[in-house]
Structure 1
Amino acid sequence: MLNYKHLHYFRTVAKAGAINRAAEKLHLTPQTLSGQISAFETRLGVELFRRSGRRLELTDVGRTTLAYADEIFHVGAELEEALQNRAAAPVHPFRVGIADVVPKSIAYQLLAPALTLAEPVKLICKEDRLQQLAAELSIHRLDMVLADRPLPSSMDIKGYSHPLGECGIAFLAARSVAKKLQGEFPATLHGAPLLIPGEDSALRVPLLRWLEKQGWGATIVGEFDDSALMSAFGQAGAGVFPVPLTTAPAVMKQYNVIELGRTLEIRERFFAISVERRLSHPAVLAVSEAARRSFDPGSA
């Protein structure tokens, strides 16, 4: 059986990066703590740390162990909080993974209704690449993943992709950039500096194909995995950037940019990925229903 005291010692050392610093936090001597870590490694039959100069670095197995340790102690803290507040209404955790290419405004728009359910929900969001989030979903560390594409068939993970909606694309730019452009949209994009999503985004390929279809080459000056960062560069005048039509008004207001034009030929799609073939989690159902209202026919 796992020794949770040893697990606590391991986690503290992993966070501190050195035996001496961890020993101070745990009020142990470095020799005692080092012995406890060695005993833990022997019990597990793996090497958790490797020495790099004066620091201790986690091995691959050590990083996996730390991820589980964080989750174990997080759940323990939730249990303690639930017991201390058992007289109050129970709060159910709703753990959502958000693929880092999904615009923050879309994520908020879809997830906000989960906080208005009759039974209180504690929303826990984790942002990462889809592959990592799907792996966590498969071991039930997440209830749902929001993504801009279905779960790839190449992933050896059992999951189901539920379409939430789709919309066209608007091209936005700072006024200083817009003044320098000529012609009617989409010809106005010819020779314009463009900011586009990074390689992980499902929008990237159809966007590039659409630009090529117009008959002129795009002048790409930046690629971004984070849509908020792309919008910030657009606000500063670095170039024209695409956003989902459903969030264009909010982005224009927040970043003080204007719309150059829009197209329905490029589709931004969003999916809820779950381990359920049919959605049943109340919060996931709230997200799905919110999506039907958000992605109206005018933007689809």
Structure 2
Amino acid sequence: MLNYRQLHYFWIVARTGSITRACEQLNLTAPTISGQLSLLESNLGLQLFQKVGRHLELTEDGRRVLAYAEPMFEAGVALEAMIRSQPGQQPRMFRVGVADVVPKSIVYRLLAPTMSLDNPPLRIACREDKLERLLADLAIQRLDLVISDSPVPAQLDIKTRTIKLGECGIGFFATQSLAQACAGEFPGCLDSQPLLIPGPQSVVRGRLLRWLEECRINARIVGEFDDSALMQAFGTAGTGIFVAPRVIADDLLRPGGVVMLGETEAVAEAFYAISVERRVNHPGILAVAEGARHDLFQQ
């Protein structure tokens, strides 16, 4: 028979990432927790953790066990919080993973509608990372939603529900001084000018390079960035012309800031909300999808 105390110790170690931190949370000694984990692994006939350096990482079997343990114990935590609080005062967690290639202005505008929800109120926990790692956490329900510029890669065997939030063309932005050095009409004015582009992880990168080639633009690429915010920081400092989704142009075109050299719908950038079936009716996910459809992308 499954020992739920041992399973609880496993859940805490998986959440904290180490036996030492689990000891602090549970107020137990390391030998006690280690012994109980060994018994659990023996009873299940599975290896749940593997040691990587000084840290413990879940094995594939460990991730599968955690997928069942997590909702069980999270429900207990939520129940305890509900009992201790007055009805309607306890916010519901909304755990969002953001692929690092997605512009931060897009993320803010997608998540903004969730901040005004009051039935129930939400508390957002937002984390940025590579898409593959975020999807792994989504699969074991450490996240409720992943925001990405692409659907789930076909090679990943993860059962998900993907909602296309919308798409838009891109704009080319530069400082005033750099814009003055660009001669001629757009897009010819980009020829031989310093250009900052998204890194290989971004879906829009390939489309952008093909479009430049079709327009016979001799791109002088001076920087590649997986992090869109870092690319914009370099661009606004005058390092080069940078690209950004057209729908956030107003956030960039501030007095004394950058100007837009031109735009194209031939290079479309799309954004997706990825969740698992059991989370798809989460009020935060519904608010993100509704806000994207009727506000940000106005579909």
Query: TM-score, normalised to structure 1's length?
Result: 0.79
Equivalent residue, structure 2, for 1:187: 188
Equivalent residue, structure 1, for 2:296: 294
After superposing the two structures, state which structure 1 stretch, 222-231 or 34-43, moved more.
Answer: 34-43
After superposing the two structures, state which structure 1 stretch, 85-94 or 101-110, moved more.
Answer: 85-94
What letter matches 1:100 in structure 2?
D
Q: 1:8–1:216: structure 2 CA closer, same or farther, 3 Å change rule?
A: closer
Equivalent residue, structure 2, for 1:92: 92
Equivalent residue, structure 1, for 2:253: 252
Do the aligned partners of 1:232 and 1:255 also contact (CA within 8 Å) in 2?
no
Do the aligned partners of 2:99 and 2:149 also contact (CA within 8 Å) in 1?
yes
Do the aligned partners of 1:195 and 1:240 also contact (CA within 8 Å) in 2?
yes
CA–CA distance in structure 2, aligned partners of residues 11 and 177 of structure 1: 48
State the shift of 1:287 in Å: 1.4
CA–CA distance in structure 2, aligned partners of residues 294 and 283 of structure 1: 16
State the shift of 1:154 in Å: 2.2
CA–CA distance in structure 1, aligned partners of residues 107 and 84 of structure 2: 32
Q: 1:177–1:26: structure 2 CA closer, same or farther, 3 Å change rule?
A: same
How many pairs does the alignment contain?
286
Report SS of the residue matched to 2:253: helix
CA–CA distance in structure 1, aligned partners of residues 74 and 193 of structure 2: 48
Q: Flag structure 2 segments of 5+ consecutive residues without an equivalent.
A: none
Deviations 1:215-263 (A, max 9, x none): 1321111111111111001111111100001101102339921111111
What letter matches 2:239 in structure 1?
A
Do the aligned partners of 1:9 and 1:33 also contact (CA within 8 Å) in 2?
no
Q: Are 1:83 and 2:83 an aligned pair?
A: yes
CA–CA distance in structure 2, aligned partners of residues 269 and 259 of structure 1: 20
Equivalent residue, structure 1, for 2:30: 33
Equivalent residue, structure 2, for 1:270: 271
After superposing the two structures, state which structure 1 stretch, 279-288 or 178-187, moved more.
Answer: 279-288
Do the aligned partners of 1:9 and 1:37 also contact (CA within 8 Å) in 2?
no
Root-mean-square deviation (Å): 3.7
Query: TM-score, normalised to structure 2's length?
Result: 0.79
Sequence identity, in percent? 43
What letter matches 2:141 in structure 1?
H
Equivalent residue, structure 1, for 2:202: 201
Q: Flag structure 1 segments of 5+ consecutive residues without an equivalent.
A: none
Deviations 1:201-224 (A, max 9, x none): 111110111111111321111111
Report SS of the residue matched to 1:142: coil
What letter matches 1:144 in structure 2?
L
Do the aligned partners of 1:151 and 1:160 also contact (CA within 8 Å) in 2?
no
CA–CA distance in structure 1, aligned partners of residues 229 and 194 of structure 2: 18
State the shift of 1:161 in Å: 2.0
Equivalent residue, structure 1, for 2:18: 14
